[in-house]
Homo-oligomer: A and B are copies of this chain.
Amino acid sequence: MSSTIKVLLAEDQSMVREALAALLGLEDDIEVVAQVARGDEVLPAAREHDIDVALLDIEMPGATGIEAAAVLHRELPAVKLVVLTTFGRPGYLRSAMEAGADAFLVKDAPAAQLAEAVRKVLAGERVIDPTLAAAALAEGANPLTDREREVLRAAEDGSTNAELAAALHLSQGTVRNYLSTAIQKLAVRNRAEAVRTAREKGWL
């Protein structure tokens, strides 16, 4: 091994981030050279530190790990991307791969897989949970239009049609139409279930 693998770690929960850093620190060939807590701090930190691999949590303020991955892929294509998430949602996997991720790990996988994944992506391999990959393929693509997603996202907190209409500059009837079509596409019975299953599939 010529020199250590330089890793950027992006994860918003300090305790988890520093714990993961400690875990990776146990590996002789890996060095965590930068840590950030927000998605929008990833690119600047990556530029500053000349890293080999970026380890990105999806759920972060500022920008999601997937958005950060897309930016890194465009701006620093040599950097390998490992996306890490609590939720093994097939839609997340799909978006992550589209954003140029080289590996996709869920946090309830064994810890040993983390260092493994870092080494493998650097060797040019891709690391993906086969079960999840199958699920992502089986599920098909996101059937929702942009607007439908927007309305669903806005409806998540329990806003009424009137509030949604005001917030999105739409008529109340249009809001209901979008929700109605979304409900049908998702084969559920009301907006709450629609929001739920769309989230679950990673389609929001």
List which A1-22 residues lie within 8 A (CB) of chain B.
12-20, 22
Query: Judging by beta carbons under 8 Å apart, are B190 and A15 in contact?
Result: no
- Give the contacting residue for A193; candidates B107, B108, B157, B189; CB below 8 A: B157
Q: Does residue A124 face the partner (Cβ distance < 8 Å to B)?
A: no
Given A22-B26, A23-B22, also A15-B160 (CB < 8 A): no
Q: Does residue A140 face the partner (Cβ distance < 8 Å to B)?
A: no
Q: Count residues of chain A with CB under 8 A from any CB of chain B.
A: 38
Question: What 18 additional pairs, Cβ within 8 angstroms, besides A15-B108, A15-B109, A22-B25?
Answer: A13-B108, A14-B107, A15-B84, A15-B107, A15-B110, A15-B114, A16-B20, A18-B112, A19-B20, A19-B23, A157-B193, A158-B188, A158-B189, A158-B190, A159-B193, A160-B189, A191-B192, A192-B192
